[in-house]
Amino acid sequence: MDTEPRSNFLRTQIQSDLDAGIVDRVVTRFPPEPNGFLHIGHAKSITVNFGLAEQYGGVCNLRFDDTNPEKESQVFIDAIQADVKWLGYQWDGEVRYASSYFQQFYDWALHLIDEGKAYVCDLSADEARDYRGTLTSPGKNSPYRDRSIAENHALFAGMKAGEFADGSRVLRAKIDMASPNINLRDPTLYRIRSVVHHQTGDHWVIYPTYDFAHGQEDAIEGISHSICTLEFEDHKPLYDWFIDNLPVPSRPRQYEFARLNVNYTVTSKRKLKLLVDSRVVSGWDDPRMPTIAGMRRRGYTPAALRHFCEEIGTSRSDGVVDVAMLESAVRNDLNVTAPRAMAVLNPLKLQLTNLDAPEVLMVANHPADESQGKREVHLGPEVWIDRDDFRQEANKKFKRLVLGKRVRLRGGYVIEAEHCDVDANGEVTKVYASIVPQTLGEDPDDGVKAKGVIHWVDVITGVTAEVRSYDRLFNVEDPSKSESMDDVINPASLVVGEAIVEASLVLAAPEDRFQFEREGYYVADRFDHAPDQPVFNKVIGLRDTWSNND
């Protein structure tokens, strides 16, 4: 399912930089904040950054921008590393952290103070907001803007020493309060936060802002192309201002591309966290979540996600991608790679009246790929078929089992329905059928062809498994517009039931994927599946059932 890299403006830019000798090696980075699980939008960023480095023979760093320890956790750090590896990428060298550079950031902050380009400000958050101005009106200078270099040094040292209360003072760059770009109106460089950091412990009580740390991290690591999403475009002049005004060891360049927006999906970490905290979902890795961990547990494949990210392209134009494209990529990948198996979700017992002894059939694991081999499937006098596959009478359009008509058991014999048992409510409780002789792998000798093929599971060897049928979490295209997410949750996003599965499936390893014949694609749950308690998650149906509902 590999896709040849498509040309896009980032590849054009990198090639131009290499041809012009501006850079001699491509070094990119993926810099997540460890304050939540990665989602589908991050998958796009991962494929862009790692993919570009790979294409041009360069390297990509994994760096955690851990400048806000109040919302960060080692759990998120571990999950992010697992996600990147699962997608098939390997970062260069050791995992990197912004916190590893805290001393260097502090020294560079002192450099800006020495140059008269940074000052300690005592305005409260509300006052600072008032002083900042608006998009249409300029800001005004802080009354603390003209403090002396010596006073700023002393106050900043006091901030570092923990002498002041949280939020009482910040260090700001001295740029231009009248700038039309609000990001240049004396942005905050450091704030006081008496919080224990997951990497540095209690060594620091002041932490740099992301804007101050971002470009300098890139410069320290020798990043050639700092690739961000478009929301950082307005921050680019500030990024460049820091690079121009600090003695950094290299000059990275920032380029922006449009973030990935998918319908029927939310990717706001705040809203995803709300879904977790309110227990709408079971956790960050719930298979209905658009997180990479959730999609992995759902049974999506790394190849399908990479293919999807490549297919939608990389541009500077914002837009919304139909989630059906992602689902189609998953379906197409599994159609080729997933072995077939049989499971009956709505069982009805069928007795084979002329099968004298159980038989063992050899059934192909994939109809179009002989390399996937064959498996043993037991056939006894009684089998389970799907209730929807039988009718006492039906028109010619019904291609399944009807009294007096024939169908083929998948991988087995042609059978002919003879009669059925019906309870007092008119419900069919059992079907009786006979095997048409000499039809194992052959058409009937009498020329009466089977009307169709149905799946089945042997009653004696079949195993009961839990089946979790997942669907889209939201039932509207843009759930972010809803005031309450409760109003747009799809009530059928998870239906838990049972199925009777063929015996071979209990030996499936967690994350093994299968096409349950005529039902859809399923995966052995990553955590809950076991031979004595099989659990399968529905990955995706055999066809798009939403297209007619949109």
Q: Phi and psi at residue 39, in whole multiples of 5°?
A: -120, -175
Residue 305: φ, ψ to 5°: -65, -45
From the list 90, 76, 523, the residue with the least C-alpha distance to 292 is 76
Active-site residue, from 11, 140, 251, 259: 259
Rounded-to-integer distance, Cα 235 and Cα 212, Å:
11
Instruction: Out of 269, 273, 399, 430, pick the active-site residue.
Output: 269
Q: Which of 33, 54, 233, 359 is catalytic?
A: 33
CB 336 within 8 A of CB 517: no
Active site residue 11: no
Show the DSSP H helices in 4-163 as ranges.
Answer: 9-19, 40-55, 74-86, 102-114, 125-132, 149-160
Stated length of the chain: 550
Is 522 within 8 Å of 534 (Cβ atoms)?
A: no
Terminal Cα-to-Cα distance of the chain (whole angstroms): 28
Q: How far apart are CA 531 and CA 314, in angstroms?
A: 43
Token pair listed for 169? 């003072």
Has 94 been annotated as catalytic? no
Inter-axis angle of helices 210-220 and 102-114, to 10 degrees? 110
| Closest to 323 in 3D by CA, of 532, 144, 544 | 544
Classify residue 152 by burial, with Cβ atoms within 10 Å: 0-12, 13-18, 19+: buried
Q: Does residue 33 carry a catalytic annotation?
A: yes
Q: Give a three-class secondary structure readout of 468-484.
A: EEECCCECCCCHHHCCC
- Going across the sheet that includes 96-97, the strands are 27-30, 59-64, 96-97
Alpha carbon distance 455, 517 (integer Å) = 6
Residues belonging to the active site: 33, 259, 269
